[in-house]
Amino acid sequence: LFRSARPLEPRAVRGALARLVRRHAALRLRFGEPPEVQTRFMEAAVVLDLLRSDALAGSMLPTISTVVTAAQAALQTCWPRWCTPALPDHELEGRMFVEVECDAAAVDSAVRRLRKDFAPPFQLALLKHPPGTAEVLPEAGSDSAPPSCHLCVLISHAIADGSAVVPFLHDLAHLCAEEQEPVKPPAKRKLSRVPHFGAILEDRLMRTLGGGPAQEDAMYLDRRMEFLEGHFPEARCRGYDQSFNVAPDEAHELGRLAAALVPGCPMELALLSMVVLSLARVEAAPSVRLVLVHHGRDQPPGAADVVGLFTDFRVLTVPTSDLMSLMGVLGFVSTAVQERSWRPPGALEPIDTLVNIVPSPFGRVGCLTQAPHSGMMSSSWASWTDGSEGGLWQSKRIVPLRRKLELQMEQVDASEWNLTMYLDEATYPPENGRRFRARWLQILRGLREDPMQSVQGVAARTPCSQQGPAVFSSDSAGVAAEGHASSADPEQRCVDGRSECKGHA
């Protein structure tokens, strides 16, 4: 949902939408085959991957390589294509673009009705507010001015992931501004071309099927989920969900500490580090293995400007033993993710802990600003814990889950985040789930008071200011881990969070 600082004419929004749809092929997507076709393809791709791995191990007859080659060629031929023709004007007007008149105070109910009537995969609604329902704008372009209208964007997850909101918002704001200005020569109104989302995915697919190294994997996130669920139903879990908000003051404190301890660490990676540290303390684990949802826009050039679904999995294992400090984990996670020091999961590798981080552009873009929304809703079957656990909300119902633990961190305002967790009751009883938030606040206090204390809570004897650069380095070679420093220098090691430096002043 986006609010506009100035009135938008329906004609301008309609013209901007037509150009936006021409620019991004995913927005005019039509599925040429039923979803079952892609699921069957996923099954065949997994079998092919296993055959290729076995052939490389040398345990198969040489003639099997011929079968692998033939299967690979067949999969490349049968891969379901997308139908993305030009969109007729009547379909653009009747299905993709709608106008709604509502009071400024009734935007939430209007959005709920739009969601209920939404016909995938994409729709743009202009919510116009009658003059009598909104105050007069105090200053043109002022961020504090009440919105004169809203734009509600509904996009199916089948064609776009969380990162798609960034190129979408920038293009929409630019096109709306152009359509409302006086007519310009066609040459000045032409947008630069972006890669076709289907071509990007098919290129990744062919490189993956070819068995060679690929910078991006081609195995669809949702199809891989369905494949594993269909073939391993006994692996399904049952559990509950819980959530809490990282309020603006808490988010500001975490961001400030992360920037001071690990320069260049973005907010989403500071939050990911807090997840790792909290899990390590709840489970008393010497390492935490996460499967991250990666939005896959590193390659090819221009992919970051494309609206589409490029999401996949990446495995990251973080050491969290007593040899690691809080600051060490923060630096390790920041560098590992920014330098892409992770790996794609194996074809049948289990995914026990899945983490999805969804940042959003809440800064103003042109006349549009993303409207904040509540990330936590209570209901009759929900319960709030006491204030000592930081406003944690935990459901009472038991629901089927896909994995033992799934976390989603979503930015709900410019400086506020919501963390929602889905926990397997057998692995994480409700009391352990409540302990997660308590450990989170404990770690935040530890980062502020003694960032060199052990991950498991053992305080460091030597003050942080006296540790010196040998204990923590932000470069890629010895990032963020005393354990790494001890392996590189036998004269320096860290035991139970206490630095023992020999031969160094």
How far apart are alpha carbons 416 and 412 in whole angstroms? 6
What class, spelled out in words, does domain 236-380+391-449 have in CATH? alpha beta
From residue 183, give the alpha-carbon distance in Å to each of 4, 172, 176, 190, 227: 22, 18, 13, 12, 52
Residue 107 CA to residue 128 CA, distance in Å, equals: 10
How is residue 29 written in tokens?
A: 């997507």
- Joined together, the tokens standing for residue 92 give 């653009």
Cβ-contact 311, 294 below 8 angstroms: yes
Domain boundaries, the chain: 2-31+84-180, 236-380+391-449
Q: What is the pLDDT of residue 198?
A: 75
Q: Sign of dihedral through CA atoms 317, 261, 412, 436? A: positive
> For position 180, what pLDDT does the model report?
84
Structure tokens at 276: 């790792």
Instruction: Identify the pLDDT of residue 325.
Output: 96
d(C-alpha 81, C-alpha 8), whole Å: 37
Residue-wise pLDDT tens for the chain (505 aa)?
999 988 899 999 999 998 998 899 888 876 555 555 555 555 666 666 666 665 555 555 555 566 666 666 666 666 555 556 666 666 676 678 999 999 888 898 999 999 999 888 899 999 998 876 554 433 434 445 567 899 999 998 878 888 899 999 999 999 998 888 766 655 556 677 788 887 777 777 666 666 555 555 545 444 555 555 555 565 578 999 999 999 999 999 999 999 999 999 999 999 999 999 999 999 999 999 999 988 878 877 888 899 988 888 899 999 999 999 999 999 999 999 999 999 887 766 788 899 999 998 888 888 899 887 644 443 333 444 444 456 889 988 888 888 899 999 999 999 999 999 999 999 999 999 999 999 999 999 999 999 999 998 764 434 433 333 333 233 333 333 333 333 333 333 333 333 333 333 2
Q: Which two tokens stand for residue 99?
A: 């106008």
DSSP 309-331: ---EEEEEEEE-STTSBHHHHHH
pLDDT of residue 254: 97
Q: Convert 226-277 into a string of H (helix), E (strand) and C (coil).
A: HHHHHHCHHHCEEEEEEEEEECHHHHHHHHHHHHHHCCCCCHHHHHHHHHHH
Structure confidence at residue 319 (pLDDT): 97
Query: The tokens of 386 are what?
Result: 């006491």
pLDDT of 63 reads 58
**Tokens 């704008």 label which residue?**
137
CATH architecture observed for domain 2-31+84-180: 2-Layer Sandwich (3.30)
3-state secondary structure of 40: helix
Q: Output b/e per residue, 374-392; b: 16+ Cβ within 10 A.
A: ebbeeeeebeebeeebbbb
